[in-house]
Chains A and B, each alone.
Chain A
Amino acid sequence: MDGAERRVGERYLLERREFPAFLAALSASGYRVVGPTLRDGAIVYGEIRTESDLPIGWTDRQEAGTYRVVPRGDGALFGYAVGPHSWKKYLFPSRERLWSARAKEGSAGGFEVEPEPAGADPPLAFLGVRACELAAIAIQDRAFTMANDVAYLRRRERILRVAVQCGVAGGTCFCVSMGTGPAAAGGFDLALTELIAPEHHRFLIEVGSPAGAKVLTGVPLAAAPADSAREAEEVVARTARSMGRSMRVEGIRDLLVQNPEHPRWNDVARRCLACTNCTMACPTCFCQTSEEVPELAGGRVERWRRWDSCFTTGFSELHGTAIRKSHLGRYRQWMTHKLATWYDQFGSSGCVGCGRCITWCPVGIDLTVEVEAIRSSPGVRPSEPSPP
């Protein structure tokens, strides 16, 4: 099949030994490849130049407030769940210059906004995007599209998404509850399922878009027999059965919106450190602030945006004092927005069930437990109408 044209919707088999040829094809197509790498004891996203940059043979153990990488005992390339990074670090960088201006003579405070320098970085290939992360990208797409955020949208349209169907569920995963995984059913350019048998290590590749098909031209592939497709389905089905967590989502929007005074918020506020870890690790959190960065000489300023978090005191500051003074107000804002008012704003939950906020919470707060605690004793006052 070498050199043959690849078709959207078709499935192909890639032998493990040919994986470098696949990476080379991504680079040859003009993409800078980024994906999972092992660094400082965690699997994080970074540059992938060769396959040895991948965490080959490693997996992770995740629980509330706990993350450890451990050897798998095999040579799997993608045998782990999601780590502390998410793809938003590329689509929505943690710091980004918005614009710059020069001081202009002739009036006090005069300025002139400078034209942005032309030139663009090479397009990125995201290697190893999980189903929950495809859902997270789609959620951020809605927020940034509604705000017509040109910088985000420009980056977004240049991304090639190489999905990986999850072969293991993390201890804090609950994508099945959120309806976002573990199978990636669409929204990718290519989707890989890693098929590991003692004698045979291969990848089933599903083509999701013409851009994905183009990359595969020239990659040594075989046609996928029906039994390999079934084998791939069994991989994600097994993952679905081993989810570490679950969350009941029926009626969750009204449950949280109608319970802002629930005593459980007091309870969680006593544990929450307001450290912002959950918002930094969350693949959908988009809150940000902007800052004035003047040059010391005063002739030029830059305006930057950076990630912000609803857990900081300054986030809600109005006329010099914070509206949300307590951890209660901040945790309630975060969880109610993520799981409830997100539906009002963007037509979906803001949660994809990736479990990062549970794993990376230093005190192990688990939002699936918090929801269940409120659900078990809802304090809804019957006279209150449902909001519009």
Chain B
Amino acid sequence: MTPATAAPPPLPSPHPWAPVPFEVRERAAETVDTVTLSLAPPDGGVPPLAFRPGQFNMLYLYGIGEVAISLSGDPGRADRFVHTVRAAGKITQALQRVGLHATVGVRGPYGGGWPVEAARGQDVVLVGGGIGFAPLRPVLYELLHHRDRYGRLEVIYGARTPKDLLYYEEIQGWRARPDLRFQSTVDTAGREWHGDVGVVTTRLPECRFDPPRTIAFLCGPEIMMKRTAEALLARGIPPDRIWVALERNMKCALGICGHCQFGPEFICRDGPVFRYDTVDRFLSVREL
């Protein structure tokens, strides 16, 4: 398995650290603490907004600061950057409150991405946990744009509660498709919930794939990815066919601030997507 091919370069900017002003074109409150923003240049003056699934941007609010957020939109649409942001810190909280036509600064895209082309002709398993499903959504769009290029397609998406499920309407559409099995599950639910309850690994036995011809992309909390990878290994998927997205504090996204180091890797530059067998030993070390 080879890593992803070259990713598109970052937007041109007067300074490598300086954001480019974008306009909020659409805004969707996904849950009580998560919003999806569609961003485009205010005057259309920026070249096509190409990105690879798995890449991220630095989003900036004037007078507040900057934060790394994955792209969660359709890579087939080069007229916007779509980001799904969960309130976790000061800046992500402020991003919940930006309105239509407000300005959000953007620099990026950064990082490599999911090796989607390596999935050609293969069965594909996507497993997302919480906000970790957002960086997988571009993969799903890409696979569905060219559905005939891939084998079986299994998607598992876990959230804490039914109220935390992102992309609710869209999920109904995916669940209804005959050429895709989309399973969603929640950790806890009230009695009104008709769906599955349990961590994502409880849905794996339902999945059908041919292990040596399968690629798996996992994104979510580290413990979720580790347990899922172990379950997939037990099903016979080779460790070099499992890919995970890692997350650490990021200040620069340029490979120089040092914050995102994970063992020998700079997550911003060498990741955020890694082949599981290159990082699994570090995933089990506390406080790395």
Interface set of A (CB-CB < 8 Å, partner B): 98-99, 101, 103-104, 107-113, 115-116, 143-144, 146-150, 257, 260-261, 286-292, 294, 298, 301, 303, 305, 308, 310, 315-320, 323-326, 328-329, 332-333, 337, 341, 344-345, 384-385, 387-388
Contact A324–B287 (Cβ < 8 Å): yes
Contact A109–B258 (Cβ < 8 Å): no
Q: Please provide the chain B residues from 247 to 288 with a CB less than 8 Å away from any CB of chain A in the complex.
A: 247-249, 251-252, 254-259, 261, 263-264, 266, 278, 281-282, 285-288
Q: What are 16 A-B pairs at a CB distance below 8 A?
A: A98-B17, A109-B63, A149-B16, A149-B254, A150-B16, A288-B251, A289-B251, A289-B257, A292-B66, A317-B89, A318-B248, A323-B288, A329-B287, A329-B288, A385-B281, A387-B278
The answer to whether the Cβ of B11 comes within 8 Å of any Cβ in the partner chain is: no
A347 vs chain B, min Cβ distance (A):
12
Contact B103–A107 (Cβ < 8 Å): yes
Contact A289–B259 (Cβ < 8 Å): yes
Which of B13, B23, B259, B286 is within 8 Å of A308, CB to CB?
B259
Q: Which residues of B contact A113 (CB under 8 A)?
A: 13-15, 18-19
Which of A292, A323, A325, A388 is within 8 Å of B278, CB to CB?
A388
Contact B248–A316 (Cβ < 8 Å): yes
Q: Which of A149, A291, A298 has the most C-beta atoms of chain B within 10 angstroms of its own C-beta?
A: A149
B90 vs chain A, min Cβ distance (A):
9
CA A260 to CA B287, docked complex, whole Å: 10
Contact A384–B281 (Cβ < 8 Å): yes
The answer to whether the Cβ of B104 comes within 8 Å of any Cβ in the partner chain is: yes
Q: Taking chain A's interface residues, is the majority helix, strand, or loop, or is none over half, making it mixed?
A: mixed
B128 vs chain A, min Cβ distance (A):
17
Which of B62, B103, B251, B264 is within 8 Å of A257, CB to CB?
B264
On whether A99 and B17 interact (CB within 8 A), knowing A109-B98, A148-B254, the answer reads yes
Q: Taking chain B's interface residues, is the majority helix, strand, or loop, or is none over half, making it mixed?
A: loop
CA A345 to CA B267, docked complex, whole Å: 12
B111 vs chain A, min Cβ distance (A):
14
Contact A146–B255 (Cβ < 8 Å): yes
B62 vs chain A, min Cβ distance (A):
4
Contact B89–A319 (Cβ < 8 Å): yes
Which of A316, A319, A385, A387 is within 8 Å of B259, CB to CB?
A316
Contact B42–A107 (Cβ < 8 Å): yes
Contact A320–B89 (Cβ < 8 Å): yes
Q: Which residues of A contact B282 (CB under 8 A)?
A: 387
The answer to whether the Cβ of B101 comes within 8 Å of any Cβ in the partner chain is: yes
CA A104 to CA B42, docked complex, whole Å: 13
Contact B258–A308 (Cβ < 8 Å): yes
B256 vs chain A, min Cβ distance (A):
4
The answer to whether the Cβ of B236 comes within 8 Å of any Cβ in the partner chain is: no
A141 vs chain B, min Cβ distance (A):
12
Q: Please provide the chain B residues from 1 to 45 with a CB less than 8 Å away from any CB of chain A in the complex.
A: 13-19, 21, 23, 42
CA A326 to CA B286, docked complex, whole Å: 10
CA A305 to CA B252, docked complex, whole Å: 10
A298 vs chain B, min Cβ distance (A):
7
Closest to A261 in B: B285
The answer to whether the Cβ of B129 comes within 8 Å of any Cβ in the partner chain is: no
Q: Which residues of B contact A344 (CB under 8 A)?
A: 264
CA A288 to CA B66, docked complex, whole Å: 15
CA A324 to CA B258, docked complex, whole Å: 14
